[in-house]
Amino acid sequence: MFSILKPLPTDPILGLMAAYRQDTNPNKIDLGVGVFKDESGHTPVLKSVKKAEAFRLENETSKSYIGLAGDLGFCNKMEIQLLGEHKALLANRVRTAQTPGGTGALRVAAEFIVRCNPNATVWVTTPTWANHISLFEAAGLTVKEYPYYDYENKGLLFDEMITALKQVPKGDVVLLHACCHNPSGMDLNIEQWKIVAELAVEVGFTPLVDIAYQGFGTGLDDDAAGLRLLAEYVDELIICSSCSKNFGLYRERIGACSIVSSDAKVADVANSVLLSVVRSIYSMPPAHGAAIVDTILGSTELTALWHQELAEMRDRINGLRTLIVDSLNAQGIDQDFSFIKHQFGMFSFLGINKEQIDRLQKEYGIYMVGSSRVNVAGVSHANIDYFSKAVASVLK
């Protein structure tokens, strides 16, 4: 059976990770992997998480299964964090299942969509997170793209986006990034969200919102504003969320898939299908990460500490965007990089070509994805001069 298999290409990000580890250049910089890094290049465990873990270690009384939906306290608190005091919550129209990370949430959502409409097409932004397409296709769904990022002008192709979404067949699904778009860093503003929400109602597509970076843009509430506005308009909505970035719980694999339905009765039916999907994929989610988040959000003291730490991470990222632009400008480069300051989250396209990307890697040990997408958190005050001089060198 196995002898008929043919090797598949390595995921570009994983390949970059391996190449970076083997590089002996003492000045090497990893701008590929999408994790937050502090000034020393380390991805720390938050103090709020450490305190919650200490509490859990002292108070956990069982290692029994936690049920198909996972930690119900976590699910409830995530709904509030995502939607605030929304009418959908007040009307008992929301159901949530804890999932193994945001990736798990997306795969659960994909299988849920298949149960609802196996012929549905999922529409994603051009570009989008690379794994979006493979996750939906693995569930048997057709994936198509709609215009989003303007590579030439480093902005949004919003008019083209709306023109394309007007052609989406009723019953299809449109994936939207709530904030900190991966990989471009370009987000919709609230007026644009309103237009999309009105269009969803008019056309009849179902929005699927991926919110993996809440709090990394401008703030927890601001980053969810588009999602909340969308939920004001549509009767049905799928939300995939992650705690990897904003809680720093990458390896704990903690996320959630939330379904917003037209009323409580429909929500109960949808929930039964959602949990059936969970049962058929992994049966029961792990407990630790959800318990940590539940403990933090259930404590006034720990929530305040987490908000402080989240603000520090967000301020670092936003500050690095300005630092990168100023440092590149100081090199006398003709190319305009000012767009980086007007984006949100960890990612941006530098807008350099493949030959220049290859030179940065081979000559300077600076690693980024072939599209020129960089994780700005990989830059620091210690390596910014080296980075900017290297970029200037390959551009001249």
Catalytic residues: 129, 210, 245
Q: How many Cα atoms within 13 Å fall on the side-chain side of residue 220? A: 19
The three-state (H, E, C) secondary structure of 302-317, written as one string: HHHHHHHHHHHHHHHH
Using an 8 Å Cβ cutoff, are 83 and 89 in contact? yes
**Cα angle, residue 216 at apex, residues 211 and 222 outer, rounded to 5°:** 75
**Alpha carbon distances (Å) from 323 to 33, 317, 337:** 20, 10, 11
**Cα angle, residue 281 at apex, residues 279 and 285 outer, rounded to 5°:** 70
For 170, the token pair is: 């009723």
Using an 8 Å Cβ cutoff, are 100 and 253 in contact? yes
Using an 8 Å Cβ cutoff, are 160 and 193 in contact? no
**Alpha carbon distances (Å) from 32 to 26, 106, 388:** 17, 22, 17
